[in-house]
Chains A and B, each alone.
Chain A
Amino acid sequence: MNHPPLFVNAKMINYIIRRLLGAIPTWLLVGLVAFLIIHLTPGDPAAVMLGPEATHTGIEVLRERLGLNKPFLIQLRDWYLGILHGDLGYSFFLGRSVAAALWERLPVTFTLAVCAMLVAVFIGVPLGVIAALHPNKLQDTIAMGISLLGLSVPEFVMGLALIYVFAVLLRWFPAGGYVSFTENFPRALLHIAMPASSLGFIQAALIARMTRAAMLEVLNADFIHTARAKGLPEATVIWRHAFRNAMLPIITVIGLAFTLLLGGAFITEVVFRIPGMGLLTISAVKRRDYPVVQGALLILASFVLLMNLLVDLAYAYFDPRIQYD
C-alpha cells in the first residue's frame, strides 16, 4: 500500500495552517469560559489562604496584594494580554509562574495518558475484533459484557477497587504515588500500572465497541469475500484487508478517547496521588487559585484541538482517497 507523502504535501501544510488559525477563536473562547467559570464560582482565594479566622480587613489587604480587587474586565484583559505574551499568570499559592508549574506537571499527566491509551488499545482492539469475528456468539457476549462493565464503572470506583484488590489485599502494586520512567524504570512501571489500567479499561470499552461495529461492516464487504475466495489465509484477510479498512472510525474513537483520557486523568490522579496536571488543577479549584485553573483548562483545550487535527491528518494516511482542500 502506497501512502501519500504526508508532511511534504503543500496542500497539507496549507490545511494545517488554516486549521491552526481557525482554532484561535475556539481557544480564546475556551479561555473566556475558563476565566468566567472560576471567577463566578463563589469563594475567595484570599479567604482560603488566610483561613477561617480571617477578618474582612485582612482579606481585603491580601486581595489587593494579589490583584483580585481590580475590576473583573480589567483582570480578564490583563490575563488575555499575558497569554498573548506567552504568560499564563502567577500562582500565589505556588509562588511561581503558572506556565512553569504546568510545564512541570505536564509530562506526568502525559505519561499517564499514554500508558492508559496503550492499555485501552491493547484491550479494546482485540476485544472488538474477537466480538466482530463471532457476532452474537458467546465470545461476542463476553467481549461486549466486559466493555459494558468498563463503560458503566466510574474512574474513581475502578481506581479504588484496583487499590483494594491489588495493593491492600495482594500487595502486588503500590497503592499510589508516582515515579518517573527516567528515574527508575521498573518502579515507574509498578506505580503506573494500576492508574493506567483503571483509566485505560474505561476507554478500552469505547474502542472495543467501535472496533466491533467497524469490523462487522467491513467483514461483510465484497472485497473480503473476494479475498477469502482467492484463498488468502484468514489472518491475512482479517488484519491486512478487514482491519486496515476498518481503521478510520477506530482512529477517530482513539483520538476522542485520548482527549477523554486527559479529562479522566484528573480523577485518577487524585485517587492514585499522581502529581500531574489533574491533581494540581483540582487542588487549585479547591483553593481558588484562579490562574492555575485557567491555565490548565487552556492547555487541556489546546490538547483537544491538537488531537482533533492529528486525527484528521491521520485519515489521509490511512485512506488515500481523502484530500485536503
Chain B
Amino acid sequence: MRWLSKLVILWLIVVAGMLAIAEQPRFGGILKAAMQTNPPTLDPHLSTTTATRQIAVYIFETLVTYDANYNIIPQLALSWEVSSDGLEYIFHLRQGVKFHNGKILTADDVVASLKRYQAYAPGKRLANVVDISAVDELTVKFTLKQPQDLILELANPGIFAAILPAEIIKDRATDVRGEELIGTGPYRFAEWKPDVYVRLVRFDEYVPDTRFEGPTGLGGRRTAYFDEIQFIPVTSPAARLAGLLTGEFDYAEELPITSYQQLLNSPGVIARVLKPRWSIVLELNQGEPPMDNVLFRRALVAALDMEAVLRAVTFGNPEFYRLNPSFFFPEQVAWYNDAGAEFYNKPNLNEVRRLLKEAGYNFEPIIFLSNRDYDWMYKCTLAVASQLQQAGINVVVEFSDWPSQIARALTLKGWHINQTGWSPRLDPTALGPSLRCGSPSAYNYCNPEVDKLLDELSKPLPLEEKQRLSRELQQLVWEDVGVIKIGDFFSLEGLSAKVKGYRSWTVIPLFWDCWKE
C-alpha cells in the first residue's frame, strides 16, 4: 500500500506542477480580439471615439494616467511640481524611455506633442495653458492663465494626450498614419487593414515603469506577453459571438446579453460582465419649449420608473444594470455620491399631473431622438417613451442611425429629448461639455451656478473640497434637471478560457500582463 500512496503523492505533485506552470505568464502567441467597430483614425490626438482609445493605449503613453482604482499616477512623468500660485507646472520625465523608432524620449517630444494636442484635439484641450516649453532635456514647464488642476486634464483618457516623437508630431495638422504611429507603449503599430484588423506587435525594447510592482489601470509596470495583438472589427454581435464560440477569437466585446447563459454553459469560454460601462442618460434640449420650463423637466423625472426601464434594456437580468443617481460609478470611489437621490426613481403620477398643470403643458408633441444602432439605447427609448405617454406626455420618437442622431441633436432645433449613454466620466470636470453654458453638447442648458462649480472643480484644490463641490454640482443638476440619468448599464464580454491574466479598465480591454495557456 505504501507504493500506492507514494504514487498518489507523486501524481498530485505532477498535477500541481502542471497547474503552476499553466498559471505562469508566458511569452508568445497571437491574441485575436473581436471589436464592434473600425476606429475612425489611430491618431490619438484627433478622436474621442472608444475604438481609437482602445488601441491607442497599447501604442502610446501619457505623462500621467489612471490606476485600477481611478487614481492618477505618473507614467512618462517622473514627478511634478506646482508653483504656489498654481500658474506653473514643472514635469520631470523618466530617463531612458524609448520610442518605437529607437529614439530616447526628451522634453522636446513632450512639448511638440502637447502643443499639437492643444491645437488640434477636439474639445478645446489645454485651453488654459499659455505656454509649454522645455527647461532642459528631461524637464517641461507649463504656464497657465488661471490656476487649474492640470493633472486631471493630462490624464484624461477620453482624448489621449499621447507623446509622439517631435519630428513626427510638431505642428502636424493632418492625422498621423501607418509607420508614423510611434509611441513609447508596450506594443508598436504594425499594420492596419480596414475591416480586417489593426495589428500590433510587441515592442521588445519597451522600457517598463519599474516604480510599480505590476500593472495597474492604464499604467504601472506593464509587460507585453503576446507577440501580436489583432483588433478585428466585427460589426455583427452574432458574428462576434460565433467567432468566440468556435475559437476564432480569443476575446469579443459587446456580446448580446441574451447569450449570457449560453456563454456560461460553454466550456472553454468565460463570460464577463463589464462594469462600469455606460451611464444611460437622456439629454434635454432646454432651448425648445416646454423643455425650457424646469417644472416640465421635473415632470419627466417624476414620470420615470428607472428600474422598469433598466429591466427592459437588460431583459430583466439584474447582473447587467444598477440603479444609480450619480454621474459617477460606485467603483470611482473618489467621486461617487448619492446627491439628488430623492428625485431619482420615484415615479409618482399625481406629482406628474400637478407639475404638468403648473408648467402649462398643453399636450404639445415632445420629439425624442434615438437610434437602432445601439440596441440598449433603442430599448431604453421604447420603455421611456411608453412611460411618458402613460403619464400624459405626448412623446413622438424619431429613430435614425447614430451619426444622423448626433448631427440632428447638434442643430439644437426641433427636438426635446436625446437618447444617449455616457462612458465613465473620470472626474467632475469631465461633465463640463454636457453641462456648461454654451457648450454644443449641453443643448442649451445653462445654469451659471453649475458653471461656477465646474470652474472651482478645475482648480488644484484638496480632494475633500473637490468631493464636496462635486456633490453640490450633482444635487444642483438633479434639482434643475440638466440631464436625466436612467441608471448604469453593463455589457457582456467573452474570453477564451485559455487567456489568463485578463483585466479591463472602463471600456478598455487590457491585454498586457495577459497570456495564453
Contacts and interface: CB of A to CB of B under 8 A. Distances in A.
A150 to B, nearest CB: 21
**Residue from A101, A171, A175 whose CB has the most chain B CB atoms within 10 Å:** A175
B40 A48 contact: yes
B410 interface: yes
Contact of A93 (B41, B408, B441): B41
Contact of B401 (A43, A271, A272): A43
A57 B37 CA distance: 26
Interface string A17-56: 0000000000000000000000001111001111111111
Contacts of A41: 404
B440 A272 contact: no
Interface string A246-262: 00000000000000000
A304 B274 CA distance: 46
B239 interface: yes
A283 B242 contact: no
B122 interface: yes
Contact of B123 (A55, A171, A287): A55
Interface string B101-131: 0000000000000000000111110000000
Contacts of A167: 242, 246
A175 B38 contact: no
Contacts of B446: none
A164 interface: yes
A42 B242 contact: no
Interface in A228-249: none
B242 A168 contact: yes
Contacts of A94: 194
A54 B40 contact: no
Interface stretch (B42-50, B163-171, B349-357): B42-50
B238 interface: yes
Contacts of A47: 403, 406-407, 410
B433 A53 contact: yes
Nearest to B406: A47
Interface in A70-127: 93-95, 101
Contact of B404 (A43, A95, A164, A272): A43
B238 A160 contact: yes
Given A43-B407, A51-B47, A53-B159, A93 B194 contact: yes
B479 interface: no
B239 A287 contact: no
A177 B236 contact: no
A293 interface: no
B239 A272 contact: yes
Contacts of B410: 47, 56
B195 interface: yes
A286 B401 contact: yes
A202 to B, nearest CB: 18
B40 A49 contact: yes
Interface string A52-74: 11111111010001000000000
B48 A50 contact: yes
Interface in B48-97: 48-49, 52
A131 interface: no
Contacts of B242: 160, 163-164, 167-168, 175-176
B243 interface: yes
Contacts of A271: 236, 238-239
B403 A44 contact: yes
B193 interface: yes
Contacts of B158: 53
Contact of B47 (A50, A57, A175, A279): A50
Interface in A145-171: 160, 163-164, 167-168, 171
A54 B407 contact: no
Interface residues of A, number: 45
Contacts of B137: none
A288 interface: yes
A275 B407 contact: no
A94 B41 CA distance: 9
Contact of A95 (B177, B235, B238, B403): B177
**Residue from B46, B124, B174, B193 whose CB has the most chain A CB atoms within 10 Å:** B46
B45 to A, nearest CB: 11
Given A43-B403, A163-B238, A283-B194, A50 B440 contact: no
A280 interface: yes
Contacts of A42: 400, 403-404, 407-408
B119 to A, nearest CB: 10
A174 B246 contact: yes
Q: Is the interface of B mostly helix, strand, loop or mixed?
A: loop
Contacts of B406: 43, 47-48, 52
Nearest to A272: B239
Interface string A276-295: 00011011001110000000
A270 interface: yes
B48 A48 contact: no
Contacts of B40: 48-49, 51, 93, 287
B238 A53 contact: no
Contacts of B401: 43, 286
A273 interface: yes
Contact of B124 (A55, A177, A282, A288): A55
Nearest to B193: A275
B236 A174 contact: no
B404 A273 contact: no
A51 B157 CA distance: 13
A121 B223 CA distance: 54
Interface in B179-194: 193-194
Nearest to A287: B40
Contact of A176 (B47, B48, B193, B243): B243
Contacts of A160: 238, 242
A168 B246 contact: yes
A67 B242 CA distance: 41
Contacts of B388: none
B358 interface: no
B123 A53 contact: yes
Given A44-B403, A53-B441, A283-B195, A176 B123 contact: no
B234 interface: yes
B235 A270 contact: yes
A53 B404 contact: no
A52 B239 CA distance: 26
B196 interface: yes
Interface string A196-207: 000000000000
Contacts of A287: 38, 40, 403
A56 B234 CA distance: 31
Interface of A: 41-44, 47-59, 61, 65, 93-95, 101, 160, 163-164, 167-168, 171, 174-177, 270-273, 275, 279-280, 282-283, 286-288
Interface of B: 37-38, 40-41, 46-49, 52, 120-124, 158-159, 173-175, 177-178, 193-196, 232-236, 238-239, 242-243, 245-246, 248, 400-401, 403-404, 406-408, 410, 433, 440-441
Given A44-B407, A283-B235, 11 more contacts: A44-B403, A48-B403, A53-B122, A55-B123, A58-B121, A164-B242, A167-B246, A174-B246, A273-B232, A286-B403, A287-B40
Q: Which 6 A-B pairs have the closest CB atoms?
A: A51-B48, A43-B403, A54-B122, A175-B242, A58-B122, A51-B49
16 contacts: A42-B403, A43-B401, A43-B404, A44-B407, A49-B41, A51-B122, A52-B406, A55-B122, A168-B242, A177-B248, A273-B234, A273-B243, A280-B194, A280-B195, A283-B233, A287-B38
